[in-house]
Amino acid sequence: MLHIIIQLVSGALGGNGAGALMKKLSLGTIGNSIVGILGGGLGGQLLGLLGMAPAAGSGDLSGIISSVLSGGVGGGVLLAVVGAIKKALGK
């Protein structure tokens, strides 16, 4: 359960970080956070499907780092995709 929470929080941070870096794709703080949370969860699930997710209940440093990275990257990537789609539909 700890890894899921870490992934979701990291996803929100990754989404907001990506929104700050890519101003044209930003959805605002709330939108970036929501999309980031979804992306963080999806990033963690994708790692689980690939067999690279930390074992449930393991609180070791490598598992926590893996959760932070998968959540942050997943949140940033999903924000970029959603922002690009929104921008394309807005034209």
Q: What is the pLDDT of residue 30?
A: 94
Q: What is the pLDDT of residue 49?
A: 83
pLDDT per residue as tens digits for the range 37-79 = 999 989 888 887 887 766 555 567 877 888 888 888 889 999 9
* pTM of model > 0.85: no
Q: What is the pLDDT of residue 45?
A: 84
Element (DSSP H or E) covering residue 41: helix 28-49
